Every structure is written in structure tokens, then in C-alpha cells.
Amino acid sequence: MRLLASRIALLGIVASLLILGGCLQTSQPPIYEIIVNFRFVEHETFPAEDQIISTKITLIRENEELWSENFGTLPEQVSLYVSPGTYSISVSVKTYVGTFRGTATQELEPGENIVSLILCPQCGS
């Protein structure tokens, strides 16, 4: 009888911890796949693609850099796993004729999002 009572008490404690743990986990915003399709508006002096040295894309939310990656070309699309919300997306393209920058602030939702950026020598510096 004593063993049964201790097992029931232990099950009660485990159940309480699981419920509490579930409540704590739901306080975090859900994470989804967010696909960003870029539409670049290039400055008249923007060089051909073979002149691109590297491209750095940075995702910022509330002044905190959440993600950054370097590419060898100018990507048309990136896939991220973040919670929906308003983000700043910064793109810096280093070329043989100089660096071109662009920044956009946009609401990103699960699924595909189109982000338009103007890339120019003075933008976003």
C-alpha cells in the first residue's frame, strides 16, 4: 500500500512537471519556414554578375542580428526558420567596382515572401 501511494505521488509530480513544462514551452513564439524571394533593383552602375566577389545577407529584429550568411553570388531566394514578424533585411554586395548596399524592413510570414531591395553604392551605409 505504501509503495502504491509513493508511485501515485511520483506520477503526480511527473504530471505536474510535464504540464508546467508544456506551459513554459508555449510562451516561445512558433518557428516556421519563411522563404524570402528577392527582387533587386540595381543601381545603373551595378556590374555584371561575374564582377560580384561576395554577398552578405543579414536578418535583424529589434536591433539584434539573428542570422547572417555570405554567398558567392547574388541569391534570388533564402530559406529561414524564424518566427513571423517584422524584420530588417540588409544586403551588401562586394564587387570589383565597389560595394552596393540595400536594406528593407518588412513583415515576414510563413511561406513565401517577396522582398524588394534597391542596391546602390550609397544606400544603407
Rounded distance between C-alpha atoms, residue 73 and residue 52, angstroms: 6
Identify the band that residue 28 occupies on the pLDDT scale cut at 50, 70 and 90.
Answer: confident
| Residue in this structure with the C-alpha cell 533585411, named with its chain if needed | 89
From the CB of residue 95, how many other CB atoms can be counted at a distance below 10 Å? 21
Is 59 in contact with 86 (CB distance < 8 Å)?
no
pLDDT at 36 over 60: yes
Q: Based on the structure, what is the number of domains in the chain?
A: 2
Write 27-31 long-range contacts (CB < 8 A, 24+): 29/83, 29/84, 29/85, 30/83, 31/81, 31/82, 31/83
Structural domain containing residue 64: 32-119
Does some domain include residue 125?
no
Farthest-apart Cα atoms in the chain, separation: 85
Q: Are 98 and 121 in contact (CB under 8 A)?
A: yes
Asked if 67 and 40 sit in the same domain, the reply is yes
The burial class, CB within 10 Å (0-12 / 13-18 / 19+), for 111 is exposed
Confirm whether 49 is domain-assigned: yes
**Are the C-beta atoms of residues 96 and 21 closer than 8 Å to each other?**
no
| Prediction pTM value | 0.74
Residues 46 and 20 in one domain: no
Question: Are 51 and 21 contained in the same domain?
Answer: no
Does 5 lie in the same domain as 44?
no
The torsion of the CA quartet 7, 9, 10, 12, rounded to 10 degrees, works out to 120
pLDDT at residue number 43: 85
Query: In this structure, what CATH number is given to the domain that contains residue 44?
Result: 2.60.40.2100
Residues 37 and 94 both lie in one domain: yes
Residues 58 and 72 in one domain: yes
Q: Confirm whether 98 is domain-assigned.
A: yes
Give domain status of residue 112, yes or no. yes
Asked if the structure places residue 72 within a domain, the reply is yes
What tens digit of pLDDT does each residue of 60-114 get?
999 999 999 999 999 999 999 999 999 999 999 999 999 999 999 999 999 999 9
Whether residues 88 and 51 fall in one domain: yes
